[in-house]
Chains A and B, each alone.
Chain A
Amino acid sequence: QMGNRNVENSCNTCDFSSLGYACRNISTSSALQNRTHVSCDIKGDVAVVRFNTPNSKVNTLSKQLSAEFTDVMNEIWANEAVRSAVLISSKPGSFIAGADLNMLEACKTAQEVTQLSQDGQKMLEKIENSPKPVVAAISGSCLGGGLEVAIACHYRVATKDRKTVLGTPEVLLGLLPGAGGTQRLPKMVGLPAAFDMMLTGRNIRADRAKKMGLVDQLVEPLGPGLKTPEARTIEYLEEVAINFARGLANKTVSAKRSRGLMQRLTDYAMALPFVRQQVYKTVESKVQKQTKGLYPAPLKIIEVTPLHHLICFFSFFGQLAVTKESKALMGLYHGQVHCKKNKFGNPQKEVKTLAVLGAGLMGAGIAQVSVDKGIKTILKDTAQKGLDRGQQQVYKGLNSKVKKKSLTSFERDSILSNLMGQLDYKGFEKADMVIEAVFEDINVKHKVLKEVEAVIPAHCVFASNTSALPISQIAAASKRPEKVIGMHYFSPVDKMQLLEIITTDKTSQDTAASAVAVGLKQGKVVIVVKDGPGFYTTRCLGPMLSEVVRVLQEGIDPKKVDAISTAFGFPVGAATLIDEVGVDVATHVAEDLGKAFGQRFGGGSIDLFKLMVQKGFLGRKAGKGFYVYQEGVKNRSVNSGMDEILQKFRVPANPDVCSDEDIQMRLVTRFVNEAAMCLQEGILSNPLEGDIGAVFGLGFPPCLGGPFRFADSYGARQLVDKLRKYEAVYGSQFTPCQLLLDHANSPSKKFHQ
């Protein structure tokens, strides 16, 4: 049936003859009743086309929706009483959120994807060339394919609210705008802005879009009237859009935009071949530098944007869609969706009052992401100075949003009214959850746990934000261990997306549900793992950092180590990472985990870290680690004080395992092996969460999609071979785990099907 439809479509796009339409009408008369995704109302001489993917919060450009859309548009073109059209969604929160990923993923070959892209472009070209003006009335997400539909229209009216965002996120999935956006966008917003949108995939809010020339009119959201604000606002958007559609048809409204002086100057400059070349060159070198050539999509976007041979561009889209990078990024997308759900269901009691113990970087960060979600938050510290610093951090975090105009100063103030800074346990009797972020020492943790349990109500959850101390050990001091859970945040809390939640054998389901609910409310991507030394994330990082130390001891300097690791796709170099984590923290963790896991965490000498701590080289926070950090200095230099230390711990390198590629693989295989072991031991409940945790918490190269995705694409056999090779040189820290061996022995076994 689908095949048939495609044939008809392509036949139809050959020309605009009325015969074709008549033909279409006959064939769609039966489809009329069956339409489930797109409907059409005629209001006077304006046709209102409504998108509404059934049983879904968002509209996606699925095969079904596209086919029905084509049908409806053909009817509109054939209907002489209709002089213009408005495209709108029946869902206030989503215009069209993008193409249907399942549809893309179902494609086996690049040719299939190319075909989809070509079909889409043909339809949009018809809209673009439509003699009857078409107005897009945008409310909610207008992304990817949705944006392509919108910019093919003659005029765009958008609701100015937070939900309405426009963007081309294709690059984040390793793709490019697949239906002509690479051609239309630069014409609309100018080349620099188009590159910025397509290469970063950033969401653009409606008011910004208006300034850029991406939308023509804004509609302010309405308050309550005779209907709910949402219902009335979208109705109003439709009324306004209808008026503009009518105006365009009557020629009382011009679709031509008056461009500002700066825009006109930019346009003029862009018309000069020399300037254009410069722009391309600059953008390309910037992308090369940032992606290290590991991501094909951004480079293809640059390549395709000046092209006018669409064929070439379609095939690029097709090629990209089947790359392993795109598969990896789409996998991460699915993982994120998975980790935005609470598998424990709704908790019995919603957390309305949260108490955070410790106003350090972590504590204040947790408070910040809570107060702005409307959670009343008590921030408690033991000293006024520390508390002041923490409160200032929250204020600064929110105020920076005011400066960026994503928040008004009034909203900032009213958000801050949710924050109560204090030095005592006042009000803890009303707390629904306490998250402690105090010093990482089991005795301190036990002390606060006991103090807190004396004042909190029975239902209150006690969560520990620790990066390595086992939760069951902390819970040992609790009178109610079923209410104790781990919530491992990543620093800086307001930027890092991941939250690792750790449950012990005694943690109740409701406690877990409550913790996940809070995490999701805070906007986090949540993975839930079992308790154990280092949980999942810290445990994977341990062996890799140990190997980094080993590599450094073998005489590779920190800059080189960073270069090698970023070339592999890590966003932060491995040596820099240690500086960021803090050498004292790393030492602490390495010792703890070393005790728990023995030789498997060996390799590098922990005494090297200890000496660094002794010398005060604690990393970024101390101004000195492997590098020297100075306020305002961008190009940091290697800490010369480290030469002596590195020399002291110097070990000979074996040239057989010291090529750049070998070093990369030594780091990564240990990471992947440990991740697999976490899955094997049941710390992780599935590979998907393992991938998400590694990428969003530890910066595992996104283009590889996470350790499990990488094991699949690289091949478990090949991984095991590498591990064996290094095992022979270094010993048992490289011994592959049973799960990897199983996968290596049966090639059909994959972590992701």
Chain B
Amino acid sequence: AQPKTKKTLGKTGVKNVVVVEGVRIPFLQSGTSYADLMPHDLARAALQGLLTRTSVPRDVVDYIVYGTVIQEVKTSNVAREAALGAGFSDKTPAHTVTMACISSNQAMTTGVGMIAAGQCDVVVAGGVELMSDVPIRHSRKMRKTMLTLNRAKTLGQKLSLISKIRPDYFTPELPAVAEFSTSETMGHSADRLAAAFGVSRLEQDEYALRSHSLAKKAQDEGLLQDVVPFKVPGKDTVTKDNGIRPSSLEQMGKLKPAFVKPYGTVTAANSSFLTDGASAMLIMSEEKALAMGYKPKAYLRDFVYVSQDPKDQLLLGPTYATPKVLEKAGLTLGDIDVFEFHEAFAGQILANLKAMDSDWFAQNYMGRKSKVGAPPLDKFNTWGGSLSLGHPFGATGCRLVITAAHRLKKEGGQYGLVAACAAGGQ
């Protein structure tokens, strides 16, 4: 391997923060084995898995942070509900963060910040998403009527309110994977992004097939060590991700476009699917980990968040963040041994690769002198990605980080880089 620009990213005066362990329950297509559970049940299972795997004493954990996107209204602080149910100390505070598909990245970096600032030594960060059940609401008109009804005192008032209810009041409000600011669904935006960078349907299908094949291989070879089994109440123990399905280009080619009809390029086969799942990660200050006798799996060194136009650059986060974080760390793209990028859509990944490889884009949109370059594919998501393993919005970030750590260890690499795009153009 080529010599690294820097031997270490450690900084004097800043605490080293380490990943002790990271686990996840198997990621399942929504509507399958987890369908009858609640989000905190999945988070609970991940947390219990982490406890089992690490045997960390419960009272050592200073703080718990969880990321989630579509919130179950009954458990809006899902971190707290899951921690209580997972047997953590009721003296350990917990909060929930949300930042679309990078919610658990936000959970992890929140933990990093707490440790670095000396507020905590041990933090559990994680994420959860249950797409099998989403809050479907009454219409605003109906809600208003129902709330007014609560305040109505006499039977007459109540009856008069009820008599105002019309059939259209019963039309429910469904949550959509769409931007609030632009009303555009993410798949539609991904299709436009792919078109903007001239990514063909075939390229996308090929990339998706690669993701599924690599995931299958990793699964078969037992490389996905972050998965912990989950005994689902009333059902069998789930041990494996169930969305990995290597198909053929021919079969994938038969699918109709899912968003831009009839001529778009993004299909069900080259997009990530709706997924249920949860992840959990134990992070500590290095001193604490060593003192407790743990052998850390990775250092968490630098991170950046970026944001851009939520309409036309919704999914370009990785392109903007990669050169920035490299610069911050004082590394170049060539120093990185392992890349783990979130695969929302094959078209999105390929568009990002093209954008990172374009001087024109770097100069005209990123205010940079030149491109950062595209990561080489042989170092890129080699154990599969969100397209094949699944993408429970809030939980993916932890999967990316722990996979990068495991790959570094397996391949003997030093530096890993994780990136993801998120709704809102972040």
Tell me which residues across on chain A come within 8 A of B312, comparing CB atoms: 222-224, 229
Tell me which residues across on chain A come within 8 A of B138, comparing CB atoms: none
Tell me which residues across on chain B come within 8 A of A408, comparing CB atoms: 182-183
Task: Say yes or no: B313 contacts A224, CB within 8 Å.
Answer: yes
Give Cα distance in the complex from A408 to B312, angstroms: 16
Tell me which residues across on chain A come within 8 A of B361, comparing CB atoms: 224-226
Report A202-257 residues with CB < 8 Å from chain B CB. Answer: 217, 220, 222-229, 232, 236, 240, 243-244
How many residues on the B side are at the interface (Cβ–Cβ under 8 A)? 26
Task: Say yes or no: A223 contacts B309, CB within 8 Å.
Answer: yes
Task: Say yes or no: A222 contacts B360, CB within 8 Å.
Answer: no
Task: Say yes or no: B180 contacts A225, CB within 8 Å.
Answer: no
Out of A226, A236, A240, which one reaches B360, CB within 8 Å? A226
A268 adjacent to chain B (CB < 8 Å): no
A410 adjacent to chain B (CB < 8 Å): yes
Known: A229-B196, A229-B312, A410-B182. A224 touches B364 (CB 8 A): yes
List the B residue with the shortest CB-CB distance to A226: B358
Give Cα distance in the complex from A217 to B196, angstroms: 18
Tell me which residues across on chain B come within 8 A of A217, comparing CB atoms: 262-263
Out of A220, A225, A240, which one reaches B198, CB within 8 Å? A225
B192 adjacent to chain A (CB < 8 Å): yes
A interface bracket (residues with beta carbon within 8 Å of B) = 10 to 19
List the B residue with the shortest CB-CB distance to A253: B262
B297 adjacent to chain A (CB < 8 Å): no
Tell me which residues across on chain A come within 8 A of B364, comparing CB atoms: 224, 228
Q: What string of 1s and 0s marks CB contacts (under 8 Å) between B350-393 and chain A? A: 01001100101100110000000000000000000000000000
Give Cα distance in the complex from A232 to B188, angstroms: 17
Task: Say yes or no: B309 contacts A225, CB within 8 Å.
Answer: no
List the B residue with the shortest CB-CB distance to A223: B312
Tell me which residues across on chain A come within 8 A of B195, comparing CB atoms: 222, 225, 232, 236
B311 adjacent to chain A (CB < 8 Å): yes
Residue of A220, A228, A232 contacting most chain B CB atoms (<10 Å): A220
Task: Say yes or no: B311 contacts A223, CB within 8 Å.
Answer: yes
Tell me which residues across on chain B come within 8 A of A244, comparing CB atoms: 263
Give Cα distance in the complex from A378 to B307, angstroms: 29
B303 adjacent to chain A (CB < 8 Å): no
Give Cα distance in the complex from A530 to B311, angstroms: 47
Report B275-292 residues with CB < 8 Å from chain A CB. Answer: none
List the A residue with the shortest CB-CB distance to B182: A410
Give Cα distance in the complex from A228 to B182, angstroms: 21
Residue of A225, A236, A408 contacting most chain B CB atoms (<10 Å): A225
Task: Say yes or no: A223 contacts B196, CB within 8 Å.
Answer: yes
Tell me which residues across on chain B come within 8 A of A243, comparing CB atoms: 263
Tell me which residues across on chain A come within 8 A of B360, comparing CB atoms: 226-227
Give Cα distance in the complex from A507 to B46, angstroms: 75
Residue of B180, B263, B351, B355 contacting most chain A CB atoms (<10 Å): B263
Tell me which residues across on chain A come within 8 A of B262, comparing CB atoms: 217
Out of A223, A228, A240, A410, which one reaches B193, CB within 8 Å? A223
Out of B183, B196, B354, which one reaches A222, CB within 8 Å? B196
Report B152-192 residues with CB < 8 Å from chain A CB. Answer: 180-183, 188, 192
Give Cα distance in the complex from A244 to B262, angstroms: 10
List the A residue with the shortest CB-CB distance to B358: A226
Task: Say yes or no: A220 contacts B354, CB within 8 Å.
Answer: no
B238 adjacent to chain A (CB < 8 Å): no
Give Cα distance in the complex from A228 to B197, angstroms: 11
Q: What string of 1s and 0s marks CB contacts (under 8 Å) between B189-211 and chain A? A: 00011011110000000000000
Please name 14 pairs of A and B residues whose Cβ atoms are closer than 8 Å in the assembled complex, sorted by A. A220-B192, A220-B260, A223-B196, A223-B311, A224-B361, A224-B364, A225-B195, A225-B197, A225-B355, A226-B361, A229-B312, A236-B195, A410-B180, A410-B183
B: residues with CB less than 8 A from A are 180-183, 188, 192-193, 195-198, 260, 262-263, 309, 311-313, 351, 354-355, 358, 360-361, 364-365
A: residues with CB less than 8 A from B are 217, 220, 222-229, 232, 236, 240, 243-244, 408, 410
With A222-B192, A408-B182 given, can you name 15 additional A-B contacts, CB distance below 8 Å?
Answer: A217-B262, A220-B188, A220-B260, A222-B196, A224-B312, A224-B364, A225-B196, A225-B198, A226-B196, A226-B354, A226-B358, A226-B360, A244-B263, A410-B181, A410-B183
